[in-house]
Amino acid sequence: MLTDAGIPVVDVPFVSIGGGMGSFAMVDCLRIAGVPASNIKVLTTLDYPWENYEYLTGVAQLPPEYRIRSDASSTPDNIWGFPSYAVRAAFSARTVRGFVAPLWNVLTENVLTDYWTPLAGQVFAGLHREADRIGYWETIAKGQARMVRRRAGGGYFCILTPHLGTTRRIAYRSSYVHLAVGYPRIRFLPDLRRFRERYGDKYHFVNSYEPHEHVYTELRNMPGTVLVRGGGITASAILHRLINDRDRHGAQTQILHLMRTYVEAPHGTSPFLRRPGRDGWAHQGFNWPKASWGGQLKVRLERSDDEERRRLWEVMKGTTTPRRKGWQRQLRRGRAEGFYRSLPGEIGHVEPGPNGSLAVFTHTPGSSDVQLLNVDFIIDSTGLVGDIMKHRVLADLVRHSGLTRNLLGRLDVTPSFEVTSCRSGAGRMYAAGAATEGAYYAPADSLLGLQYAALRISDDLARMGVCRRIGNLRSVSQWWKWTRNVAP
């Protein structure tokens, strides 16, 4: 059929669809496990693996010189986690203080100091070095992945529309497919969509994950009021930016902060499953409890039946933000000086107000009382879309290949991240990242989670003889190559 349609076929053992951080982690593990770069193909629209991540952190007010929400040992350019980002920062310092500070921070984090987290720019630089080392650029096939189909004899066809050239489609024939497509798109809540459809105004009501630098520029140039919605790390970073603009540029911005779930005290289902909370915020160092990365919660998820796993997911889920001392000082000052106010509630609807302002009608959950807020801008920081049916390839697999969904509606994968419902003869399909949330590993969409998935998949492939197992001796020898920046 492909020949009759004039679609050229390219044979390659392993195909990864996505090209972001998940694909990078997978290629890194395979190269370390002895797979030649010529045996891997990454189908992607991206120029480099961290492109989407760099964009999202940038527009969410975490540019390269700011610290991201990631552990010092979550090093996507180094599967061994040593030297960590903190150790690298120490040994690249030019002063004694610069050497001691990150090491002291790591030794005392979450007791005397905040968690030590790397600068976004430090992460991007490390990824570029590792991409060069493993020959990642040789694996890229630029274009839009359209679909994945099982082959009659086992394995898969992945159909790609190239960006350049005269060929309309290319079929990659492989034994193994890896899905690492990330989030399908930005989440636009119904009130934002209705406002834009009715009034055609994309200037005053914005999502935090779309370019919105004009909001900060306007508020620096003239006094105004901004409503920030959300209680996660992105809302924290936006508030930090707004207050910094007041301090550094003399902005007279008034900040209203709306949170649907307003946390006033520590909360949880038991004394052993509690998060600290105050002033509306639920505080947690990272996006998932640390015990879910490699501790008891990880083990419980893997051993639980569906109902117990559902209960654990409900306990662990929730919007949180780290409790960073600098941010807390800013918010306390904002409350004391009257330019920052946090409110419980949800937006009912938004209308244009007088003189280019917005009239925001809010209510608290379970109450019929409506409050009117007059603001100049709204910044919505409520997250990204995780629905797999919003992604072309995943939706196609559900509709035409019998792909099953887990208890949260995402991809149903095993602890080794195989999508068993799409097994094809001796061929195997794997998935990683946000699309697997609800399965057996909670922090699947974190930097460390993507590496963990890649390691589990490479172990599974090693059992089938596809690559070498990354055991003790190979791990040490490959780490030594990493330290000298030598190809695997």
* Predicted confidence band of residue 391 (pLDDT cuts 50, 70, 90): very high
Sign, CA torsion 411/414/420/426: positive
Residue 269 pLDDT > 80: no
Q: What is the CA radius of gyration of the chain?
A: 24
Residues 371 and 373: their CA atoms lie apart, in Å, by 7
Domain positions in the chain: 9-68+119-184+386-483, 188-264+321-383
pLDDT of residue 316: 87
Higher per-residue confidence, 23 vs 318 = 23
- The rounded mean pLDDT for the chain is 93
Q: In percent, how much of the chain has pLDDT > 70?
A: 98
Residues 294 and 386: their CA atoms lie apart, in Å, by 24
Query: What residues pair up with 411 in beta bridges, in sequence order?
Result: 405
**Domain 9-68+119-184+386-483 and domain 188-264+321-383 have a common topology:** yes
pLDDT of residue 2: 66
Kindly report, residue by residue over 413-460, the tens digit of the pLDDT.
999 999 999 999 999 999 999 999 989 999 999 999 999 999 999 999
pLDDT of residue 288: 86
* Predicted confidence band of residue 221 (pLDDT cuts 50, 70, 90): very high
* Predicted confidence band of residue 385 (pLDDT cuts 50, 70, 90): confident
CATH code of the region 9-68+119-184+386-483: 3.50.50.60
Class of domain 188-264+321-383 as given by CATH:
alpha beta
Task: Check: pTM over 0.85? Answer yes or no.
Answer: yes
Kindly report, residue by residue over 224-254, the tens digit of the pLDDT.
999 999 999 999 999 999 999 999 999 999 9
